[in-house]
Amino acid sequence: MQGIVYLVGVGPGDPGLITIKAIEKIKGSDVLVYDYLANKKFLEYAKDGAEVIYVGKRGGCHTLPQDEINDILIQKASDGKVVARVKGGDPFIFGRGGEEAEALAEAGIPFEVVPGVTAGIAAPAYAGIPITHRDFTTTATFITGHEDPTKAESNLYWDRIATGVGTIVFFMGMANLEQNMKKLMDNGRDPKTPVALIRWGTTPEQETLVGTVDDIAEKAKTANFKPPAVAVVGGVVSLRGKLRWFDTRPLFGKRIVVTRAREQASDFTEILEREGACVVEFPTIRIVPPASWDAIDSAIERLDSYHWAIFTSVNGVKYFIERLKANGRDVRDLKGIKLCAIGPKTASEIEDLGLRLDFVPKEYRAEGIIEGLGDVKGMRILIPRAEVAREILPDELVRMGAAVDVVTAYKTVRPEGKTENIMDLFKQGKIDAVTFASSSTVTNFLQMFDEGVGIRFLKDVKVASIGPITAETARKYGIETAIMPKNYTIPALAEAIVDYYKGENL
């Protein structure tokens, strides 16, 4: 059985620019063959067991020559595999996708092309530069910054390009920037025509350098401006000052570490990225079932004996409901029991089940519950929670005369993740802030490094803690919290981080 090859463009860097069709093809492929400039987040769409092959080319250093890449595509498809050849930007715009398609056609291999958003349009747009504008130009052209060196003669007609096109976008042009600008001037382009260099366009690491045809090469040398970058030449570049939007966001250029469990990090990450941050997910806790379900199952058997059920986290709700179902029951068995939730996320999780809450404290921690529950003397209270948690709430309820059953619904453990990559970022001074959403994330973070190393790292960055308890845990290790929200929630923590960096820029 013969396979097929999909030549898939995944856009220039921002993972949100990948198309629905590109995602579908990646999800359905047995083999992924990907390039250096393709955002690695697309790998999250790969199905379990898919073979992943990196064939990136960077600064003249090629993992594999093009002929061998072609051979891989042909061989895998000949073996009956569905292959996604994943490329940054668009496969047919300076991506050598045309050559790969030719090789596949000659070998009789079926293929399809999935176009992608090209950097030639996206990078200028993210820099606030429209490549066409009715007040400036109605023409634009894409040009390779360096042609195939084996060609007998150039296909670039500089005498026509220099003055015949309004906006020129050079791809991969940093190595030949000075020569290309000189050719434009030698062929009649006004030396004072605005130019913008855009590096890592559409990503949180985007950099933009503006000059003119006659001085941009010198400015690039002074700034040590390196590839990958596109160069935009034309009057439209002057609109950048008015139309900038991407690199003016409050967290743009800030690299922020999120230490939440991976399955819980996405919402927090999304908020920070929306504000411009480059987020590094470094989970320091992992949510797992308890060693035994006996305690929670026993509580479920006598569910009708409880007056209150207090949920302190989303995970407590999820695991409790799972065990309820595993025991042949459902939410109807909670009828007559008053329900309390700490925090809006936990409350939302319960309300999504169609249940009405009797109490949600204004202060999102255990101490805030005591006052709101009222007289609990003689009542029986169930608290499904993490295996290790603060004892203030159950102890105080017992002191007030309640009978309290604390049952383990889940536990948090330290993941076995590698630390080399994040250590390099810390050592290079590329981390701006580290976020902690619980005391356990602080403790586990420090334990994932050799003694004293994590503390040293945290003293060189801003620490953002979700609340005073987490901040106090950090303080015990000699680490001061620079950012803390008034409300102890993830959205509030993100807002506090934004406000902090906004204040820095005032």
Residue 232 pairs in a beta bridge with 169, 196
Q: Mean pLDDT, the chain, as a whole number? A: 91
Q: Which residues of 23-59 are buried (b: 16+ CB within 10 A; e: fewer)?
A: bebbeebbbbbbbbbbbeebeebbeeebeebebebee
Give the per-residue pLDDT at 145. Answer: 75
Q: Report, as an integer, the average pLDDT of 414-432.
A: 89
Q: Report, as an integer, the average pLDDT of 260-289.
A: 89
Percent of the chain with pLDDT over 70: 94
Cα 405–Cα 406–Cα 410 angle in degrees, nearest 5? 140
Q: pTM of this prediction?
A: 0.80
Q: Which residues of 434-449 are buried (b: 16+ CB within 10 A; e: fewer)?
A: bbbbbbbbbbbbbebb
Give me the catalytic one of 25, 81, 172, 254: 172
| CB distance 40 to 118 below 8 Å | no
Q: Which amino acid is at 320?
A: F
The dihedrals phi and psi of 275, each to the nearest 5 degrees, come to -90, 5
Q: What are the structural domains of the chain?
A: 4-117 (3.40.1010.10), 121-243 (3.30.950.10), 255-285+416-504 (3.40.50.10090), 288-413 (3.40.50.10090)
Name the residue with higher pLDDT: 265 or 48.
48
**pLDDT band for position 95 (50/70/90)?**
confident
Distances (CA, A) of 168 to 176, 220, 273, 451: 15, 18, 31, 54
Residue 258 pairs in a beta bridge with 281, 435
Percent of the chain with pLDDT over 90: 76
The first and second tokens of residue 34, run together, are: 């990907």
Residue 188 pLDDT exceeds 80:
yes
Give the per-residue pLDDT at 61. Answer: 55
The first and second tokens of residue 286, run together, are: 């992992």
Residue 320 pLDDT exceeds 80:
yes
Task: Check if 57 is active-site.
Answer: yes
| CB distance 128 to 242 below 8 Å | yes
Q: Which residues contact 195 (CB under 8 A, 6 or more apart)?
A: 181, 210, 211, 212, 213, 216, 231, 232, 233, 237
Q: Report, as an integer, the average pLDDT of 163-167.
A: 94
Give the per-residue pLDDT at 18. Answer: 94
Give the per-residue pLDDT at 147. Answer: 61
Give me the catalytic one of 14, 25, 30, 35: 35
Give me the catalytic one of 21, 57, 182, 183: 57
* pLDDT tens-digit series, residues 364-418: 566 667 777 888 999 999 999 988 777 788 888 998 999 999 999 998 888 887 7
